[in-house]
Structure 1
Amino acid sequence: MGKTNVRMLVIASVFTAMILLTVMFPFLRILNEYAHIGDGVIYLACVILPAPYAILAASAGAALADIFLGAMLPWAPMSLVIKGLMAYTMCRLAGGKQAGPWRMVLGLLLASFINVAGYFLGSWLVYGLGAAAAGIPLNLIQSAVAAALYLALQKLVRRTAGKYVK
């Protein structure tokens, strides 16, 4: 394994831990749903990391948080897929050093759609249509907060990452 791969694995591991922590400590909990800032950290991982590493960090961090939270254990497989798809979307559209504003906005909108639709479908399967519909506003709030966090910090992360990621 080359020096670059080890560096990417280390950075991905740090992001996995940050995602785990920012998902585990939600700022808003309503019934069986909770909102957190972990999605914003997932988006920031996509600024620095190549897609496979960002997807790994997003999927592992979110799924592990669901497992460690105990009550969210049934959501771990769904989070693994949903957060991985969100990271893939952001990496493809807004990752790398030179993502234009329209690509960032499109990436955020599509990743938010994946988040809301994915958890809607999961809630529908687990709790029924009424509960799934009731979770939409909270998932929209979570997506908006994640987008704001990303937009506020992505320039700083891009500039700082240049020192460590070649």
Structure 2
Amino acid sequence: MENTKQQKTNVSSKTRTLVSAALFAGIICITIAYFLHIPIGGNGGFVHVGDAFIYLAAVLLPTPYAACSATIGAGMADILTGSANWALATIIIKPILVLFFTNKSKKIINTRNVCAAIIAGIVGTVLYMIAEGIMYGSFVSAFVLSLVGLVQPIGSFIVFVVIGLVFDKLKIKEMIK
């Protein structure tokens, strides 16, 4: 009887995590595609603050689930906004950003996650610069557009920290466990 009860709890926890990951994928897609979505250059690229929600997924979900949320949410946003030419780069780059964060801490905003957001912003910018150079054959224009694109990781960092601090005050991580 106790073993059956244990299995139900495990299934429930897995289901809750899967549903949370799907919810994050949706939030990531919406914030990238429709919230502060600012086109840059003529190549279909744009600036957004959706990475903040990738960072939040990374600190609230187990890493594989957060990576899937980032991949699905950001990839779908590219397809929905007519930037499908970027979808392949996005589904490779966005899950990499998740790897710098920890979900093991009791708080969302801690030294590691603040440093991770900075590193993820830099890594994302550099990887998209490389992808643009490969896709369009000009690393010079990719570098110039990457400088404009720095607005995105800075904005995402600020949104991540603000929401993270609010979630820490509300003790969201304790509620999730």
SS in 1 for 2:106: coil
How far the C-alpha of 1:100 sits from its partner, in A, is: 6.4
The RMSD of aligned alpha carbons is 1.8
Classify the secondary structure of the residue corresponding to 2:46: strand
Alpha-carbon distance between aligned partners in 2 of 1:95 and 1:27, rounded to the nearest angstrom: 32
Matched, 1:48 2:57: no
Q: Indicate the residue corresponding to 1:77 in structure 2.
A: 88
Are residue 88 (structure 1) and residue 66 (structure 2) matched?
A: no
- Number of matched pairs: 162
Matched, 1:57 2:69: yes
Residue 152 of structure 2 is matched in structure 1 by: 142
| Identity between Structure 1 and Structure 2 (%) | 27
Give 1:101 deviation, angstroms.
3.4
Q: 1:109 aligned to 114, 118, 126, which one?
A: 118
Name the CA distance, whole Å, in 2 between partners of 1:21 and 1:100: 23
Which residue pairs with 1:131 in the alignment?
141
Letter in 2 for 1:75: W
Determine if contact 2:106/2:173 at 8 Å carries over to the other structure: no
**TM-score of the superposed pair, with normalisation by structure 1:** 0.89
Q: CA deviation at 1:50?
A: 1.1
- Kept in 1, the 8 Å contact 2:108–2:173? The answer is no
Consecutive unaligned residues in structure 1, runs of 5 or more? none
Deviations along 1:34-59, one digit per CA (max 9) or x if unpaired, are 10010011111122111111111011
* Contact 2:50-2:156 at 8 Å conserved across structures: yes
The alpha-carbon deviation at position 155 of structure 1 amounts to 2.8
Summarize the Cα distance change of 1:15–1:99 in structure 2 as closer, same or farther, 3 Å threshold: closer
Note closer, same or farther for the CA distance 1:103–1:10 as it changes in structure 2 (3 Å cut).
same
* CA distance, structure 2, for counterparts of residue 153 and residue 99 of structure 1: 9
Distance across 2 between alignment mates of 1:17 and 1:100: 23
Structure index of larger Rg: 2
> Are residue 97 (structure 1) and residue 106 (structure 2) matched?
yes
